[in-house]
C-alpha cells in the first residue's frame, strides 16, 4: 500500500478489524479467543488474514509462546493517524462556532418577530452537538 498513514487508514477501514482492536484495548489475547465472536460470520483463516493486515500496519504485535500467538495493541500508528486528523479539528470547531452564532442570530430574529422587544434573551447551551 505504500506510505504508513495509508496503511493505517486502510487497516481501520474494516469493521472486523476495528472490533479486534477494540477487543485488544482491554488486554491482550490469542488468535482463537479473538476469532470467537466472528466464527459465525467467517472462518478462522479469514481472521488470521485480518490480523496480518493489522500487524503489517503496526497496529498489533504478535508474540508466540508455545502454540499460542498472543496479540497486543500497538497505539503508535493510531497516534500518527490522530495527529493527521487534528489539522482539521480547528476547521470544524470554527464551523461549529459559526453555526452556533448563526443559530443565535436566527433565534434573536424569531424572538423579535413573535414578541417584539422586551424580555431578556435566555442563552442556549452551545456545543451540545451529539450524544454518543
Residue 20 binding target from DNA, a copy of itself, none, CB below 5 to 8 Å by type: none
Kindly state whether residue 82 participates in binding a copy of itself, applying the rule CB under 8 A.
yes
Tell me the window of 42-50, 79-87, 90-98, 117-125 that interacts with DNA (CB under 7 A): 42-50
Cell of 26: 482491554
Identify whether the C-beta of residue 97 lies closer than 8 Å to the C-beta of residue 89: no
Based on CB atoms, which residue is closest to a copy of itself, 35 or 59?
59
Alpha helices in the chain (DSSP H): 4-12, 15-24, 31-35, 44-56, 76-114
Region at 2 (left for phi over 0; alpha for psi -120 to 50; beta for the rest) = left
Among 36, 52, 89, 127, binds a copy of itself (CB under 8 A): 89
Q: Beta-carbon neighbour count of residue 58 at 10 Å?
A: 17
CA–CA dist 30, 8 (Å, integer): 22
Based on CB atoms, which residue is closest to DNA, 1 or 105?
1
Among 18, 37, 44, 93, binds DNA (CB under 7 A): 44
Shortest CB 87 distance to DNA, Å: 21
CA–CA dist 119, 112 (Å, integer): 10
Residues of this chain, 5-34, that bind a copy of itself according to CB under 8 A: 5-10, 12-15, 18, 21-22, 25
CA–CA dist 130, 107 (Å, integer): 20
Binding site for DNA (CB under 7 A): 1, 10, 13-14, 16, 30-33, 41-46, 48-53, 62, 66-69
Amino acid at each position: 500500500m505504500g506510505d504508513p498513514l495509508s496503511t493505517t487508514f486502510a487497516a481501520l477501514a474494516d469493521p472486523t478489524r476495528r472490533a479486534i482492536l477494540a477487543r485488544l484495548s482491554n488486554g491482550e489475547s490469542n488468535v482463537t479467543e479473538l476469532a470467537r465472536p466472528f466464527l459465525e460470520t467467517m472462518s478462522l483463516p479469514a481472521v488470521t488474514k485480518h490480523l496480518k493486515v493489522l500487524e503489517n500496519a503496526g497496529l498489533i504485535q504478535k508474540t508466540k509462546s508455545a502454540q499460542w500467538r498472543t496479540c497486543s495493541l500497538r497505539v503508535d500508528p493510531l497516534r500518527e493517524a490522530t495527529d493527521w486528523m487534528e489539522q482539521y479539528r480547528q476547521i470544524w470547531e470554527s464551523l461549529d462556532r459559526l453555526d452556533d452564532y448563526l443559530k443565535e442570530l436566527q433565534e434573536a430574529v424569531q424572538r423579535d418577530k413573535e414578541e417584539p422587544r422586551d424580555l431578556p434573551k435566555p442563552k442556549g447551551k452551545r456545543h451540545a452537538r451529539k450524544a454518543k
